[in-house]
A and B are shown apart, each in its own frame.
Chain A
């Protein structure tokens, strides 16, 4: 079966750093995605990892370990607008559908 796990909710303080973890068990692996989604809006693409290691993009970084079935999204210098849900998703096979985790709702406190 296919399974993607991530925490349901997290809280962090404005200006701080937060790490959102994701573990997956899938029949194959052809890439891991992170999306940001504000309430009532479509998901916005943040990052894509297909090889092990850290990908940095501004305040956001994403890490992948394929051997461990593990990824994390790191958000630095948190801003109030970062309050959103963060979705971890995996494509098991090339040209196949993307399977989504249930999402992590991140609350930013002033």
Chain B
């Protein structure tokens, strides 16, 4: 199965700033998924990123707030823009056909 590396593993950020999270896979994949898990909640899909096309966002998530890049078949980034304390969550990536997740990014906004 694919190995998914994610960084940073954690960060503490000031409100109003932005953070870019990276997800690297050791093999080529078609789709990459970005999830958010707010404290005490389950995982919610933010968007699906296909190489060569715009990401598809789920209801309640918009590109201006969570811009995503997918420059090739092994890499994607998720940016959390203009952060507020409500964005404090664990952010996770996964890939199609795989049941595993990246190690996650634990974001705290102060």
Contacts and interface: CB of A to CB of B under 8 A. Distances in A.
Nearest to A87: B42
A69 interface: no
Interface in A4-26: none
Interface residues of A, number: 17
A43 B102 CA distance: 9
A48 B48 CA distance: 22
A102 interface: yes
A43 B97 contact: no
Given A95-B31, A100-B43, A102-B42, A43 B106 contact: no
Contacts of A97: 33, 45, 48
Among A87, A97, A98, max chain B CB count under 10 A is at A97
Contacts of B101: 42-43, 45
B80 to A, nearest CB: 17
Contacts of A87: 42-43
Contact of B92 (A42, A45, A48): A42
A87 B49 CA distance: 24
Contacts of B43: 43, 87, 89, 100
Interface residues of B, number: 21
B79 interface: no
B104 A41 contact: yes
A99 B33 CA distance: 12
Given A89-B43, A95-B96, A101-B42, 16 more contacts: A33-B99, A40-B106, A42-B103, A42-B104, A43-B101, A45-B99, A45-B100, A45-B101, A87-B43, A97-B33, A97-B45, A98-B45, A99-B45, A100-B43, A102-B42, A103-B42
Nearest to A105: B40
A98 B44 CA distance: 9
Contacts of B48: 97
